[in-house]
Structure 1
Amino acid sequence: MGTFKIEGGHQLKGEITPQGAKNEALQILCAVLLTGEKVTIHNIPDIVDVNKLIVLLGNLGVKIKKNGKGSYTFQADEVNLSYLESSQFKDEGKGLRGSIMIVGPLLARFGKGYIPKPGGDKIGRRRLDTHFEGFINLGATFRYNKEEYFYGVEAKRLKGAYMLLDEASVTGTANIVMAAVLAQGITTIYNAACEPYLQQLCNMLNRMGAKISGIGSNLLTIEGVDSLGGCEHTMLPDMIEIGSWIGLAAMTQSELTIKNVGWEHLGQIPNVFKKLGITLERKGDDIYIPAHTDGYEIQNYIDGSILTISDAPWPGFTPDLLSIILVVATQAKGEVLVHQKMFESRLFFVDKLIDMGAKIILCDPHRATVIGHNFTSQLKATVMTSPDIRAGISLLIAALSAKGTSTIHNIEQIDRGYENIDERLRAIGAKIIRVD
C-alpha cells in the first residue's frame, strides 16, 4: 500500500495543466468496440482506472498502439468474445467501475455483453438498473447470476425504442447511446444526462457515422445505422481536477495559474467557488488565482440565510467536487451547508478533517455544516487513509495547508484519478514524497 508524506503550511506558486478527463476517457475508450476500424484518441490521462480499462480492452482482443504521451490508436477488428466468460475477465472487470460501459457496444455489435458487478469507489450504492433497463427497452434479454454477481444481456438485433430514464445517469446514458447507435430504427432517450463528456461521446459517435441529435439537451434522438467507421478524437481537460487545483490554491493561499481549462465546459464550477469568496480571473483559456493572503469570505443568500452548496445533474454542480468544497470551506470566513444528494457515504471522511481541527457538524450521511476558521488557526497534521478518489484529493489538500507533516495511506485511490500528482505538486513547490 502506497503512502504520501506531506509537509504542510507552504505557499505554492506557478502553473499547472489539467490532465485529460477521466470520466470522458472511460466512455470514449469503450466506444472503440463499436467499429472494426482504427480509432485514435488524444489527451488520455495516465491514471490507474484508465490504464486498467486499456488493459481490459487489450485482453478482449483490441489492437492497441501507443503513439506518444496520452495518444493511442485502437482497432477492434478481432474481438475475442470468449474472454468475456473467462475467470480472468470476471476478476479484472469487477475491479473497475467504468467496465460497465463495454456492455452497450458489445451488445450492439456482437449481440451479447457480460460484466461482473463493477467495483470502484466505496461511496454508497451505485446501482446499474438504468443501464440494463435501457438495454431491455432496446429488446435485449437480461440475466443475472447471483452466485457470481455476473450480469449478461443478449439480443440478435436491437430495436429502437422510446425510453424515459428513471435517473439522468451519465454512464447509463452513455451505455444506452452506444447500444442504440447500431439498433434498428429510432431510439428516443428522455431525461438523458447531458454533461460535456457525454456530449463529447455523442459528437465522436457522429463523426464515426452515427446519427444522434439533441446533443447537449436531456432529449436525445438516435437513428440507428448498420455500421460505424473510425475517427480521431481529443478529450477535454478534467473539470474535477481543475476544481481540485482551485481549492488547493485557496487553501494554501497560493498564486496559481491553471492552464487550458476549456472555460466553456466548466458550467457552475467557477461560480460555486466564487460563492466561497475565492477570486478567479479568466486569462484567455486559463484560470488565474491570486494568493488569498487575506482569506476568503462565504457569501450568504440575499436574505442573509446560510449558503447551501449541493450537487445536481448537469448543468448543476458536479457531486465529484463537493468533497473539495467542504475542505476549502474549513478555512473560509463564514458558514456553509454542504448537501451531497447522490451518494450516502461520501461525507464520512470528515472525521479526519475534524481530527485536524476543522469545525464540521455531520448532520446525517448526506449533509455537513462547516464553520470556517478564516485562517485564524491552521489545520493540524495527522495520519489518515484515503477512502475514495475525491475524498483522497480533499485530504491531500487539507494536508498541504496543515501545520506539520501528515501521512496519507491507501494513495492508490488518489492514483486512480490523478496523474503523477506528487510530481506535479512538487513542480509548484509542494513538499510531498511517495513512500511504497
Structure 2
Amino acid sequence: MGVFKIEGGHQLKGSIKPQGAKNEALQILCAVLLTPEKITINNIPDIVDVNKLISLLKKLGVKVVRLSQGTYSFQADNLNLEYLESDEFKVDGRGLRGSIMIVGPLLARFGRGYIPKPGGDKIGRRRLDTHFEGFIKLGAKFGYSKEDQFYGVEANKLKGAYMLLEEASVTGTANIVMAAVLAEGQTTIYNAACEPYLQQLCKMLNRMGAIISGVGSNMLIIDGVDSLGGTEHTMLPDMIEIGSWIGLAAMTKSELTIKDVSWDDLGLIPNVFRKLGITVEKQGDDIHIPAHTNGYEIQNFIDGSILTISDAPWPGFTPDLLSIILVVATQARGSVLIHQKMFESRLFFVDKLIDMGAKIILCDPHRATVIGHDFKSTLKATTMTSPDIRAGVSLLIAALSAKGTSTIMNIEQIDRGYENIDERLRAIGAHIERIDV
C-alpha cells in the first residue's frame, strides 16, 4: 500500500509531457489478437491498468518484447486458448475492466471468447449489454454462468449485420468493430462511439488490412476480410491527463506548458476550461497556461443564468474530466453546476473537498453546485482516500493547492491511470512524496 504526502500552496513552473492515452491503449493492445503477424506499438503508458493487460496477453501466449521505453512488439501467432477457461484467468480478468475487449478479437479469429465479470472503478453501473448484443447480432451464441460470473460467446463463423447500438459505448463499439473486421459480409454500426481513441483503433485496423469507412462519424461500415496483417501504431497523448494538468496549473496559480498535446484531438476540452475563466493558449502543438495570479472567473450563459458543465458522448465533453472541472471551480469567481450524467457514483468524492473547506452542494448523485472561493479562502490540508482514478487525481490537485500537508491513501487507484505521477510533478516543483506503508 502506498501513500502520497503533499505539501500544498507552492507555485509550479516548467513543462510536462502527457503520457500515451490509457483508454486508447486498452483497445489497441487487444487488437493484437486479431493477427498472427507482429505489431509494434509506440507511446504505451507505463501504468497499472495497461501493465495488467500486457501481463494477461503474455499468459494467453502473446509474444511480448519491450523494444524501448513505451515501445513494445506483440505477436499472437501461438496462443494458449486453454488459459481462457482456467481459474487463473478468472482472477486475472476480474482485475481489469479493459479485459472485456479481448472477447471481440478472440471471437472473430478463433470462434470463441470468454471473460469473467470485469472490475475497475466503482463509479456506478457500466453495463456490458452493448458488447454482447453486438456479438449476438453477428451470429454468436451467448452464455453466462451466474455462479462464476463468467461470460462466453461462441460462433462457427460471424456474419455481418446492421445494428443500432442502444448506447454509444466506446468499449462496446471497439469490441464489436474488432469482431466485425473478420466477419463474413458487411456490418453497419449506427450510434457508434466516435472518440479519437476509437478513430485510432479503426485507422490501425485499416492499416492491418481491414475495410472500415465512416471513421470519426457515428455510423461505421465494415466490410469483413479473411485475415489481417501486422503494422506499427503510435498512440495519442492522453487527453484526460492534459485536462488534469490544465486544472493543476490554474489551481496552483502556476505557469505551465503542456507539450505535444495533439490539439486536433482535444475537442471541447480547451473551451470548457476557458468557460471557467482559465487562459488556455495554443503554441504550436503545445498548451501554455500562464500564471493566474488574479484568479479566474466563471462565465455565465448569455441570458445570465448559471453555467452548467455536463458530460456527453464525443464530441461532447468527456466524463473523465468532470472531477477535475469540479475541483478547479472550487477556487473560481462565480458558481457552476456540474452534471455527471453517465455514472451515478462519480461525484461522491465531493465530501472530501467539503472537508477541505470547498463550498459544494451535492444536489443528487448526478449533480453538484460549486460556489467558488476566488482564492480568498484556501482549501485546508487533510487526510483522504482516493476512491477511483479521476477522483484521486482531483484530490491530488486540491491537495497541491491547499494550505498545509495532506495525505492521500489508496494511491494505487491513481497509479492505475497516471505514469510516475509523483516524479513528474516533482520535476515542475511540486512537494510530493510517495511513502510505502
Give the TM-score band, short-chain normalised: over 0.9
Aligned with 2:347: secondary structure? coil
Separation in 1 of the partners of 2:280 and 2:365? 31
Q: 2:252: which partner in 1?
A: 252
Question: Following superposition of structure 1 onto structure 2, how do residues 15-414 of structure 1 map, counting pairs within 5 Å?
Answer: 15-414=15-414
Aligned with 2:160: secondary structure? coil
- Cα deviation, residue 88, structure 1: 0.5
Aligned with 1:370: secondary structure? strand
Separation in 2 of the partners of 1:370 and 1:106? 46
Separation in 2 of the partners of 1:380 and 1:22? 31
Identity among equivalent positions (%) equals 84
- Cα deviation, residue 403, structure 1: 0.3
Aligned with 2:171: secondary structure? helix
Separation in 1 of the partners of 2:121 and 2:64? 27
1:266 aligned partner, one-letter code: L
Separation in 1 of the partners of 2:216 and 2:281? 26
- Cα deviation, residue 374, structure 1: 0.2
- Cα deviation, residue 151, structure 1: 0.2
Separation in 2 of the partners of 1:106 and 1:426? 42
Separation in 2 of the partners of 1:300 and 1:266? 23
Separation in 1 of the partners of 2:52 and 2:287? 31
Aligned with 1:267: secondary structure? coil
Separation in 1 of the partners of 2:125 and 2:323? 18
Separation in 1 of the partners of 2:3 and 2:49? 18
Superimposed CA distance per residue, residues 162-212 of structure 1 (whole angstroms, 9 cap, x where no aligned partner) = 000000000000000000000000000000000000000000000000000
Separation in 1 of the partners of 2:279 and 2:319? 22
- Cα deviation, residue 387, structure 1: 0.3
Separation in 2 of the partners of 1:429 and 1:2? 21
2:160 aligned partner, one-letter code: G
Aligned with 2:277: secondary structure? coil
2:275 aligned partner, one-letter code: K
- The answer to whether structure 1 residue 432 and structure 2 residue 402 are counterparts is no
Aligned with 1:242: secondary structure? helix
- Cα deviation, residue 284, structure 1: 0.3
Separation in 2 of the partners of 1:282 and 1:222? 36
Separation in 1 of the partners of 2:323 and 2:408? 16
2:280 aligned partner, one-letter code: L
Superimposed CA distance per residue, residues 240-289 of structure 1 (whole angstroms, 9 cap, x where no aligned partner) = 00000000000000000000000000000000000000001100000000
- Any stretches of 5+ residues in structure 1 without a counterpart? none
Superimposed CA distance per residue, residues 187-239 of structure 1 (whole angstroms, 9 cap, x where no aligned partner) = 00000000000000000000000000000000000000000000000000000
Separation in 1 of the partners of 2:141 and 2:435? 48
1:419 aligned partner, one-letter code: E
Separation in 2 of the partners of 1:94 and 1:136? 23
Separation in 2 of the partners of 1:371 and 1:65? 51
1:31 aligned partner, one-letter code: A
Superimposed CA distance per residue, residues 5-62 of structure 1 (whole angstroms, 9 cap, x where no aligned partner) = 0000000000000000000000000000000000000000000000000000000000
2:326 aligned partner, one-letter code: L
* Residues matched between the structures, number: 436
- Cα deviation, residue 93, structure 1: 0.3
Separation in 2 of the partners of 1:365 and 1:186? 41
- Any stretches of 5+ residues in structure 2 without a counterpart? none
- Cα deviation, residue 87, structure 1: 0.6
**Off by >6 Å, runs of 4+ in structure 1:** none
Aligned with 1:328: secondary structure? helix
Aligned with 2:179: secondary structure? helix
RMSD across aligned positions (CA) = 0.2
Separation in 1 of the partners of 2:112 and 2:135? 11
Aligned with 1:56: secondary structure? helix
Aligned with 1:31: secondary structure? helix
Q: 2:417: which partner in 1?
A: 417
Separation in 2 of the partners of 1:326 and 1:302? 21
Q: TM-score, normalized by length of structure 1? A: 1.00
Separation in 1 of the partners of 2:427 and 2:91? 37
Aligned with 1:221: secondary structure? strand
Q: TM-score, normalized by length of structure 2? A: 1.00
- Cα deviation, residue 113, structure 1: 0.1
